[in-house]
């Protein structure tokens, strides 16, 4: 069965690639070959991992497969240039593709080296044998109180919570302000965190479970949230209720379906008036601009020598105290190149290049390979799956891996930190209460 699924995956990806090549005229065969190399490397890594049935590394390769392989191949063959700016040269595609292949090889080397290291006994916890308990009552109270607060800041507009596009959150709260960030990425997730902790601690109370699930759906509806938030909180839900996802390859197939079907469908709530049907044309749409944003910094050799990274590291410093604080890398590139739209992302490798050039791409690939390997190893080899708090953070990180890869880091890192921090706080309060 395992080999059958792998063969199906290879045939599907190869058929899609050949379809793209046969539909368009090819001006430079070497560029197409480098794209195919990226696609095959990622496909192989997604379905060949033996020690990790699902984890952060799979998400990394799935992102690279679609956003740095399949989508840009369609864009190249169709001559699509997103957001305006100067047309790209063949040399730009070649250099960018070779950088991506180098980054994939570097990432894999660091991941394998870190994952196979002997287990650090100090990292193991006594809680693994006794995962502990958590107060269902306190989780319900926290969820109810938070729900009331959230409805209040939305001025009682329940539809603003349920449908993101028609009732924009920015119309209700001060978007971009400190209160907006706290309310959206620190307080609003609390009902979702309460429900997930209840389930990860394996609490048995049907009434409490249904109430917590209802409050999560009310305050954090998939149709009313950014897609990265949907991934962070509903991937854990899927694993809790769909046991088949824990079988090899099933999670990878789910994420492929999510990229091709589910997430484009969710985007219709953000721009409901467009109402587009899902088609292969979506690969040349602006939602798959990640590759071209990376290629733009490569083509223009746009390097800030670490300035953008300082903004990411010290994201918590307000602009009132740091007037020259860097802006998001996507916004910066859009402004420098005269794009007609500037609220853009910048993928993880692009962040590396915009900070330190080619060396930055290598360093960022090494760092991500190390972090992903540590997380995957702890979950699969160091009994991390037996620790409810770590398990939840692990699944949240799986959901946020896409957002981290897509960027921009200055926008996404505070969200990830907020999600992890509020998860730890709620866990501390509810577990401390029962003690």
CB atoms within 10 A of CB 271: 12
pLDDT at 3: 60
pTM comes to: 0.86
Q: What is the three-state SS of 101-127? A: HHHHHHHHHHHHHHHCCCCCHHHCCHH
Per-residue model confidence (pLDDT) at position 435: 54
Residues 6+ apart with CB under 8 A from 170: 180
296 lies in some domain? yes
pLDDT in the model for residue 386: 85
- 3-state SS of 343-395 is CCCCCHHHHHHHHHHHHHHHHHHHHHHHHHHHHHHHHHHCCHHHCHHHHHHHH
123 in a domain, yes or no?
no
pLDDT at 23: 65
Does some domain include residue 401?
Answer: yes
Is the backbone of residue 29 left (phi > 0), alpha (psi -120 to 50) or beta? alpha
In a domain, 233, yes or no: yes
Instruction: Give one DSSP letter per residue of 233-299, joined into a string.
Output: HHHHHHHHH-GGGGSTTHHHHHHHHIIIIIHHHHHHHHSTTT-PPP-GGGGGSGGG-HHHHHHHHHH
Q: What is the DSSP letter of 327?
A: P
Count of domains for the chain: 1
Q: What is the pLDDT of residue 126?
A: 40
| Pair 390, 70: CB distance under 8 Å | no
Residue 148's nearest CA partner among 107, 196, 187, 93 is 187
329-349 burial code (b ≥16 CB/10 A, e <16): bbbbbbeebebeebebbbbbb
Write down the pLDDT at residue 96.
97
Residue 63 is assigned to a structural domain of this protein: yes
Give me the domain span that covers residue 340. 1-117+134-435
Residue 290 covered by a domain: yes
Tokens of 4: 């059958």
* Residue 129 forms part of a structural domain: no
The pLDDT value recorded for residue 360 is 96
Residues 6+ apart with CB under 8 A from 14: none
Give CA torsion, residues 186, 227, 214, 169, to 10 deg.
60
CA geometry: angle at 160 spanning 159 and 162, to 5°? 60
Has residue 58 been placed in a domain? Answer: yes
Q: DSSP secondary-structure letter at 185?
A: I
Q: Which stretches of the chain drop beneath a pLDDT of 50?
A: 1, 120-130, 166-175, 271-278
């Amino acid at each position: 069965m395992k080999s059958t699924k792998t063969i199906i995956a290879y045939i599907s990806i190869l058929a899609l690639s050949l379809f793209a090549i046969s539909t368009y005229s090819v001006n430079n065969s070497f560029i197409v070959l480098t794209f195919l190399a990226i696609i095959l490397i990622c496909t192989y890594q997604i379905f060949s991992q033996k020690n990790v049935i699902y984890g952060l590394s799979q998400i990394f390769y799935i992102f690279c497969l679609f956003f740095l392989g399949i989508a840009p191949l369609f864009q190249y063959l169709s001559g699509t240039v997103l957001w305006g700016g100067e047309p790209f040269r063949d040399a730009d595609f070649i250099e960018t593709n070779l950088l991506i292949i180098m980054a994939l090889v570097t990432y894999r080397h660091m991941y394998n080296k870190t994952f196979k290291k002997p287990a650090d006994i100090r990292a193991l916890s006594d809680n693994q044998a006794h995962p502990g308990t958590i107060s269902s009552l306190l989780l319900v109270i926290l969820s109810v109180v938070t729900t009331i607060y959230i409805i209040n800041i939305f001025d009682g507009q329940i539809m603003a919570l349920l449908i993101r596009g028609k009732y924009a959150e920015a119309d209700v709260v001060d978007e971009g302000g400190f209160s907006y960030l706290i309310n959206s990425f620190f307080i609003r997730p609390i009902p979702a965190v309460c429900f997930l902790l209840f389930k990860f601690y394996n609490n048995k109370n049907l009434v409490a479970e249904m109430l917590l699930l209802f409050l999560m759906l009310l305050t954090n509806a998939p149709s009313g949230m950014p897609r990265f938030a949907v991934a962070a909180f509903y991937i854990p839900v899927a694993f809790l209720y769909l046991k088949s996802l824990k079988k090899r390859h099933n999670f990878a197939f789910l994420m492929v379906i999510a990229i091709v079907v589910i997430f484009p469908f969710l985007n219709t709530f953000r721009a409901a008036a467009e109402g587009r049907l899902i088609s292969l044309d979506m690969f040349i749409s602006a939602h798959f601009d990640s590759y071209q944003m990376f290629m733009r910094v490569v083509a223009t050799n746009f390097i800030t020598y670490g300035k953008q990274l300082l903004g990411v590291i010290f994201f918590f410093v307000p602009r009132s105290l740091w007037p020259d604080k860097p802006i998001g890398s996507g916004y910066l590139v859009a402004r420098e190149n005269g794009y007609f739209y500037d609220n853009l992302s910048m993928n993880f490798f692009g962040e590396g290049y915009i900070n330190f050039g080619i060396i930055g791409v290598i360093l960022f690939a090494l760092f991500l390979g190390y972090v992903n390997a540590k997380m995957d190893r702890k979950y699969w080899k160091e009994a991390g799956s037996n620790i409810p708090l770590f398990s939840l953070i692990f699944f949240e990180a799986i959901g946020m891996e896409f957002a981290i890869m897509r960027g921009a880091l200055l926008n996404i890192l505070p969200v990830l930190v907020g999600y992890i921090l509020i998860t730890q706080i709620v866990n501390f309060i509810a577990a401390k209460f029962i003690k």
